[in-house]
């Protein structure tokens, strides 16, 4: 059974860097044609795509967040990670990791991790 689990601090101070890791179980992160994405949802608002990484290290980032986002993958641990720098209160959201089949659909999602930006 494929599962994704987000982990990381629940509170980050303004201007600091948000760091989250997604641990994948039940399937290899190196499976061909599958990308590993981050999506966030501010409280009471819509989904926002953040970015995507392939096991080879190729990345795609949201144009609006590109200057602050870095994604990485660790195939030995079957994990991928997100770093978002210079955070503000507007970055407070539930952060989801998800598996995406090429450009077509997200078939598995993590349960989500609430990150609050507050001093």
Partner 1 sequence: QSVLTQPPSVSAAPGQKVTISCSGSNSNIGNNYVSWYQQLPGTAPKLLIYDNNKRPSGIPDRFSGSKSGTSATLGIAALQTGDEADYYCGTWDSSLSAGVFGGGTKLTVL
Of 74 and 107, CB closest to partner 1: 107
Q: Is 44 exposed, middle or buried (CB count within 10 Å of its CB: 0-12, 13-18, 19+)?
A: exposed
Number of neighbouring beta carbons within 10 Å of residue 119: 9
Q: Which of 57, 111, 114, 116 binds partner 1 (CB under 8 A)?
A: 111
What minimum distance in Å lies between the beta carbon of 28 and partner 1?
A: 20
Q: Which of 67, 103, 118, 119 binds partner 1 (CB under 8 A)?
A: 103
Of 60 and 83, CB closest to partner 1: 60
Using rule CB under 8 A, residue 91 touches partner 1: no
- One symbol per residue from 40 to 79: x for binding partner 1 (CB under 8 A), - otherwise; what is it? ------xxxx--x-------xxxx----------------
Strands (DSSP E) along 1-119, which ranges? 3-7, 11-12, 18-25, 34-41, 48-53, 59-61, 69-74, 79-84, 93-101, 105-109, 113-117
The C-alpha atoms of residue 100 and residue 104 are separated, in whole angstroms, by 7
What is the contact surface with partner 1 in residues (CB under 8 A)? 37, 39, 46-49, 52, 60-63, 96, 100-101, 103-107, 109-112
């Amino acid at each position: 059974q494929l599962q994704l689990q987000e982990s990381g601090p629940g509170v980050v101070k303004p201007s600091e860097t948000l760091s989250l890791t997604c641990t994948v179980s039940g399937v290899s992160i190196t499976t061909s044609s599958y990308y590993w994405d981050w999506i966030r949802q501010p409280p009471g608002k819509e989904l926002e795509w953040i970015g995507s990484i392939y096991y080879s290290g190729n990345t795609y980032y949201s144009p609006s967040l590109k200057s602050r986002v870095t994604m990485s993958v660790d195939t030995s641990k079957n994990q991928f990670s997100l770093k978002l720098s210079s955070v503000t209160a507007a970055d407070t959201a539930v952060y989801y990791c998800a598996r995406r089949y090429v450009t077509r659909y997200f078939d598995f999602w993590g349960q989500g991790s609430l990150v609050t930006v507050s001093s």
